Amino acid sequence: MCAAREGRRGRRQRALLCYVLVAAWEAACGQLRYSVPEELPKGSFVGDVAKDLALQLPTLRDRGARILDRGRTQYFALHANSGHLVTVERLDREQLCRLVERCVLRCEVIVEGEMKVYEIEVEITDINDNAPSFRSAEMELTVIEMAATGSRFPLSKARDPDVGVNSLQSYELSGDEHFSLSVQVGADGEKRPELVLAKALDREETAFHDLVLKAIDGGEPARTGTARIRVSVLDANDNAPVFSQAVYAVRVPEDVPVGSTLLTLTATDVDEGFNANVKYSLKTATDIASETFHLDAETGSIRLVRSLDFEEDDSYHLEAQAQDGGGLFDTSTISISVTDVNDNAPELTVTSALSEISEDAPPGTVVALLHVQDRDSGANGEVRCSLVGDVPFRLRSSVGSYYSVVTSRELDREEVSEYNVTVWASDGGSPSLRSSAVLALRVLDVNDNAPVFAEARYSARLPENNAEGALVLTVRAWDADWGQNARVRYRLAEGRVRGAPLSSYVSVQAETGALYALRSFDYEEVREVGLCVRAEDGGAPALSSNVSVRLLIVDENDNAPQVLYPPSAASAAGAGWTGVELAPRSAEPGALVAKVVAVDADAGQNAWLSYELAKATEPGLFRVGLHSGEVRTARSPLARDAPRHSLVVVVKDQGRPALSATATLTVVLAESVAELLSELGSAAAPAEPGGSLTRWLVLAVAAVSCLFVAFLLLLLALRLRRWRRSQLLPPASGALRGVPASHFVGIDGVRAFLHSYSHEVSLTADSRKSQRRWAADSCCNTLQARPPPDKAAPLLGEDAAGARGAPPDALPVSQSFRTPRRPPSRRLPPFLLIAFPSPCSFPAMDVSC
């Protein structure tokens, strides 16, 4: 006994383990199964999807889990907050799954973030909510009175939409002892009630028998349905109708038109008259069959009254009865099979799809999840999916009837920025039906392209002496990326020019790529500048590319020719060179005398030099080569030609405008060096005195000029001083009012005071100490005797030395003025004619300087 108990326990454990393994396998495969009874109210709990799929609630909310909508009625909903699957309306199993014993509803949950689909099957279990019912609550049956005991008469079956134990289980008959009930069970398990004659009938005794047939299901509590049966007893009828076939079977396509006759039943009765009149009727038929087919009672033809649909019902089973006028009948089974026709195109549904994808997405990235189905069967329901055109995507079969659209190679937004991917679904019918779906996908840019310059290298020509800030050229770079990744900025690469940073010579505008010169270039210093411009996009990380720029400085004619030979006078004097060329007097025409050598710091045409003779002592004696600068004799020298000649040669460049320089040559006509030296000596001997005399004359003129200017300034200062003094003293007329007119003498119409007087003036460094005193003996009214004839009569007195009473730091000055006998014969300027009043009539006074 213990061993048997342990064996049962082991079997239970193994069964439990198998159940757990099956459940785990189904969860791993993305399939869940639940079971709920029908008639649950709205919002009833079905299952915990989050727990069964091992999904966290935040993941379930963030990744967009939802029930897929197939365009059909939704019976379930998924709560994102709890992860529970609940009903959205009342579920009626008999309405949802007619004629199906196992009612299973399927739905699919998609997690958008993972591009995964999970199938859920919910089985709706039956409850005993329907009682058995008969098609007709009252049935009529005719039986001849001659019917033998044990005769069987089929009755209409009761219907119970419930299944299992809740379905129809048994029949009961009550009401009369002449009849009993027999229930036959068919091969399909269906129970068919039959009325059995248990006792002979006598029409004269009882013409009608009323019975009650009850149908009972197996629910708890049991439900029942009843039908009343009236049996009419008829007189004798010898022969019953007979069908030509016990079973009528026909196959019709589902697209047969409504109104078509599918088949005709035939039953014969060998009786005559009224007893041979056969009527046809359907004894057993479902509601759908009754609505789909019509049996003509007179002809026995079955006609289609509603279109067939293989996808709804592929077969119908009917039971027909042929009854004659005497009440005898026969039954036959009718089987109508519906064949499939390719009348349904595949249904292609985009379950989930991306609208954007990065161009650096790896191959195999899921872009969309498609669901495809075809309601047809067989080859008509076999669906093949394909992509239209050459696109970087492919289809990959997923769970069940799902397909994934994945990338087959790397994407490149610069080649194709948007894709309209068309997916075709075709079935295997003939002709094939198909449907399509279009996926619109935009490719997001990734910074995978560096800027590209329009040219492989740039070069520009810039005239020298350009203005600061002059535009040199503009570089252009394009980036095949988009948005910020395509925004290009420019900058200079590090470099140096003549030891200075490159950035001090040129700059580049970051946005436009314009290259500007920051300083004025000199061709003679910098002839070419090589630099590198970098273009950088705005991506992260940024990509860049470089281009070389060659800046050629174009020469301008800004340098005059420079004469190297003969040297200039200053350089020649410093080097001790005399600058004399020798030309023999016997020289033939065209003989080389000298050569002017000059260079030009410019280049090209600006440095092309030409020479011409601008000035010569003897114009026709010498000539200069236009391009060589060679000085040659134009003719043979003559005896009358001067031995020494000075030539001025002008050197011009070819610039616009042309610049020039001059060179001076001294050519001596001599046959030998001794003659040259003697000529040079005779010319050089008087040169030095002449030059010294010239210098002395210049110095003398300068000195005299300075003295003259100083004298004029001194006279002007004295004149101004006396004018100021005259403004400070009383008027002369009032001061000399008592002086006789004889004391004055006219000089050129101006009277001069004849009195002689003398005064002393003491001048000190401090003007406040300066004094002026008039000597007492100078006040006299007589003129002094005329000076001797051998002495000139001075106009102005001489200074008296040794002024009395002067301060130690004063400069004594004694002046005596004497009047000459007669005025001078020469007219004097007015500003030299001075009248001095007699100091005798004035007191001594101090004069400030």
Residue 708 has pLDDT above 70, yes or no: yes
- Give Cα separations from 798 to 426, 474, 758 (angstroms): 148, 91, 10
Phi then psi dihedrals of residue 388, to 5 deg: -95, 130
Overall average pLDDT of the 125-137 stretch: 88
Q: What residues pair up with 180 in beta bridges, in sequence order?
A: 196
pLDDT above 70 as % of the chain: 78
CB 525 within 8 A of CB 617: no
- Of 718, 722, 721, nearest to 835 by C-alpha is 722
Q: Comparing 752 with 418, which gets the higher pLDDT?
A: 418
Phi then psi dihedrals of residue 723, to 5 deg: -60, -40
Q: HSE (CB half, 13 Å, CA atoms) of 245?
A: 13
Owner of token pair 């057993």: 284
CB 333 within 8 A of CB 317: yes
- Of 833, 838, 831, nearest to 747 by C-alpha is 833
Radius of gyration of the chain (CA): 72
Residue 481 has pLDDT above 60, yes or no: yes
Q: How far apart are the first and last CA of the chain?
A: 164
pLDDT number for residue 111: 78
CA 659/CA 670 separation, integer angstroms? 35
Overall average pLDDT of the 812-820 stretch: 37
| Cis amide bond preceding 837, omega within 30 | no
- Of 593, 706, 610, nearest to 646 by C-alpha is 593
pLDDT number for residue 240: 84
Q: Helices marked H in 244-367 — which ranges?
A: 287-292
Question: How far is Cα of residue 475 from the mean position of the Cα atoms in its chain?
Answer: 19
Reduced to 3 states (helix: H, G, I; strand: E, B; else coil), residue 785 is coil
DSSP state of 164: G
Q: Burial of 675 by CB count in 10 Å (0-12 exposed, 13-18 middle, 19+ buried)?
A: middle
Lowest mean pLDDT across 477-486, 601-610, 675-684, 822-831: 822-831
Q: What residues pair up with 78 in beta bridges, in sequence order?
A: 85
- Give Cα separations from 632 to 421, 609, 625, 650 (angstroms): 93, 18, 8, 15
Residue 457 has pLDDT above 90, yes or no: yes
Q: Which two tokens stand for residue 245?
A: 């076939």
pLDDT, one tens digit per residue, over 389-431 is 999 999 998 877 889 999 999 999 989 999 999 999 999 988 8
Q: Which two tokens stand for residue 3?
A: 């061993």
Average pLDDT, the chain: 79
Residue 767 has pLDDT above 70, yes or no: no
Q: Burial of 770 by CB count in 10 Å (0-12 exposed, 13-18 middle, 19+ buried)?
A: middle
Residue 825 has pLDDT above 80, yes or no: no
pLDDT number for residue 754: 40
Q: Which two tokens stand for residue 687?
A: 């040169």
CA 557/CA 657 separation, integer angstroms? 7
Lowest mean pLDDT across 473-482, 622-631, 689-698: 689-698
Segments of 93-187 assigned E as strands: 103-111, 116-125, 133-134, 138-144, 152-154, 158-159, 168-174, 179-185
Q: What residues pair up with 214 in beta bridges, in sequence order?
A: 172, 226
pLDDT above 90 as % of the chain: 40
CA 491/CA 475 separation, integer angstroms? 11
Residue 841 has pLDDT above 60, yes or no: no
User: Which residues have CB under 8 Å from 82's CB, separation 6+?
Assistant: 50, 57
- Which value, to the nearest 10 degrees, does the dihedral of the CA atoms of residues 181, 185, 191, 193 take? -20
Residue 833 has pLDDT above 70, yes or no: no
Residue 843 has pLDDT above 60, yes or no: no
CA 547/CA 490 separation, integer angstroms? 11
pLDDT number for residue 275: 79
Residue 618 has pLDDT above 70, yes or no: yes
Overall average pLDDT of the 498-511 stretch: 91
pLDDT number for residue 453: 96
Q: Which two tokens stand for residue 326?
A: 């005497």
pLDDT, one tens digit per residue, over 255-290 is 999 999 999 999 998 877 777 889 999 887 777 888
| Angle at the Cα of 77 from the Cα atoms of 72 and 83, rounded to 5 degrees | 145
